[in-house]
Structure 1
């Protein structure tokens, strides 16, 4: 209820909730007091199918009692739990708190399972089928939405199974990325490059670094302009894991391939963010998830851990 943009909706919900209960109470009171006219045989005069007559009997007391109990329960519920606009209820119950309790309970129950894994190095852990089964579930629940169920990513979301790492693919770096998240920033560089023709020439030079189809004349003209890019991407465009700058010479294109995609990147820049999982996942869960991700691009984890 606190997400409403103004007080109108809070008052609206309150009116609907209380109005419904009041209407039910008034209806119950009115039907208890009013009895329609009846004939001498205690029927209302309504007849169906020639001989089916409606009797003028009061509602059963047990039915009336249940109706009253329902009204009392509704009032009590609205006092204890949130339901009257922005009123939080005497218990101050929230779905967030309930979710946090469930997560805490689940983590406590799983703690003995993770205890066997938390002390093991990532390389050895990646060779444990039981740990990897847990890691896969953690990945599907927390990472697959962006990186895909097969971890091969999509446009704007890195492929985690190809060995190409923006910030480094060591267990320590993967753990750091999962725990703390990452914010990747490329500033718009068109002003530093020059004219639109200069940008186009530079795009072709970037394509030439990986042997991708390009205009060789334009690439030759754009080579000198690459100096504004080399500060991050390195000489030859081989990337820089220290700042998360992609390797431009390996034919792996995170944000799209081709001249137009590169021009758009130079002109507009890009900001990408991976949210931190620290606080959402326990340290032991991050350790297992790190091992799973590391194992995706290291196909012989058991041997590596020996």
Structure 2
């Protein structure tokens, strides 16, 4: 759609809108037989020459006046609309209406309406919220409406979407960090090593990575892959493969995988990298909703703390 944001498109659309109104008025004027005096009763009406079923003749009667006035009034309405509303290119109109402002007003009204529901949680800690039965009900509904499309209705994730119930976190895993992630989103990036690491060496590194999680791997590849891992991967994932939460680098030794454990999938990840994004919901959920939702998510993997 980036091809359609130039100002010239606004002039183009404006010309079509105004031209359409002008054409409609001209068409009504050009077919103005209704201005003539009404034929006297019994006066023959000119036939168009079209006859159906032997006796149904189409007559050339003038357009009813009410029909013409209706279209003229619609043209006046259209002009008034274009003056008041943003219908002529970049002109905001006299009312300066925008759909973004309308949505913002609706969101503000909705936030005001639900504020009493969340007021009781304002003085509670995230741990207390996670134990509260009513807050759990709210958290479930917020999660199903906002997060389940990617993380699953049971919050146990799917390929490329993390399991939120296993206490294995790419970040800190605290209620505050979870709330920040919900509000601001997250962008996880692993660089692509294609052109730096050849496929043979990538396969060796993949074998070594599999061995860290006690998965079956070619022992010869594991020996050669260890050096490649230490050269290219250890800076983020750690020399022991236990990851780095500050960088969002996952633990490669705990047997928990965001994607497939197959050798081919790991090689593809090494060569092509990864670019995973979680959208920000700070403009969708209120701060109170984010607080309850983050506490609920935290509680999924911290049942012993509740």
Indicate the SS of the match to 1:130.
helix
- Of 261, 264, 278, the match for 1:260: 264
**TM-superposition CA deviations, 1:154-196 (whole Å, max 9, x none):** 332212122221113222322232233333232345777x654
Q: Give the RMSD, CA atoms, in angstroms.
A: 3.2
> Aligned partners of 2:242, 2:91: CA distance in 1, in Å?
58
Do 2:199 and 2:271's aligned partners in 1 also have CA atoms closer than 8 Å? no
SS of structure 2 residue aligned to 1:90:
coil
Aligned residues: 300
The match for 1:86 among 87, 90, 106 is 90
Map of 1:20 onto structure 2? 20
| In the alignment, structure 1 residue 143 sits paired with structure 2 residue 147 | yes
- In structure 2, the CA distance between the partners of 1:109 and 1:3, relative to structure 1 (3 Å rule), is farther
- Structure 1 position 293, deviation (Å): 1.3
State the Cα distance separating 1:258 from its structure 2 match: 1.6
**C-alpha separation in 2, matches of 1:53 and 1:170:** 79
**TM-score, normalization by structure 2:** 0.83
Q: C-alpha separation between the residues in 1 aligned to 2:56 and 2:185?
A: 78
State the alpha-carbon separation in 2 of the partners of residues 209 and 226 from structure 1. 11
The CA distance in 2 between the partners of 1:43 and 1:153, in whole Å, is 79
Q: List aligned pairs for 1:151-300, cutoff 5 A.
A: 151-189=155-193, 196-228=199-231, 229-299=233-303
Alignment pair present for 1:109 and 2:113: yes
Unpaired stretches in structure 1, ≥5 consecutive residues: none
Unaligned stretches of 5+ residues in structure 2: none
Aligned-residue offset at 1:109? 1.0
- CA offset digits 1:183-227 (Å, max 9, x no partner): 3232345777x6543332221111011111211221123223332
CA contact (8 A) 1:202 1:219 kept: yes
Does 1:6 find its partner at 2:10?
no
Shift of 1:289: 1.1
Q: Secondary structure at the match of 1:236?
A: coil
Within the alignment, does 1:59 sit opposite 2:59 as a pair?
A: no
Length-normalised TM-score, structure 1? 0.83
Matching residue of 1:42: 43
8 Å CA contact 2:33–2:62 kept in 1: the answer is no
Greater shift after overlay, 26-35 or 287-296? 26-35
Q: Is the 8 A contact 1:207 1:213 kept in 2?
A: yes
Q: Please say if residues 43 and 53 of structure 1, whose CA atoms lie closer than 8 Å, have aligned partners that are also in contact.
A: no
Secondary structure of the 1:185 match is: strand
After TM superposition, give the deviation of residue 106 of structure 1 in Å: 0.6
Gap change, CA 1:98 and 1:2, over 3 Å in 2: farther
User: Which 10-residue stretch deviates more, 97-106 or 28-37?
Assistant: 28-37
Deviation by residue 1:39-92 (Cα, 9 ceiling, x = unmatched): 9713424477748885846624x4444333222111100111122233322222
Between the aligned partners of 1:65 and 1:84, the Cα distance in structure 2 is 25
- Partner Cα distance (2:299, 2:216) in 1: 33
User: Partners of 1:278 and 1:58 in 2: how far apart?
Assistant: 57
CA gap of 1:75–1:211, structure 2 versus 1, over 3 A, is same
Question: Any runs of at least 4 consecutive aligned residues in structure 1 with deviations exceeding 6 A, and if so which?
Answer: 36-40
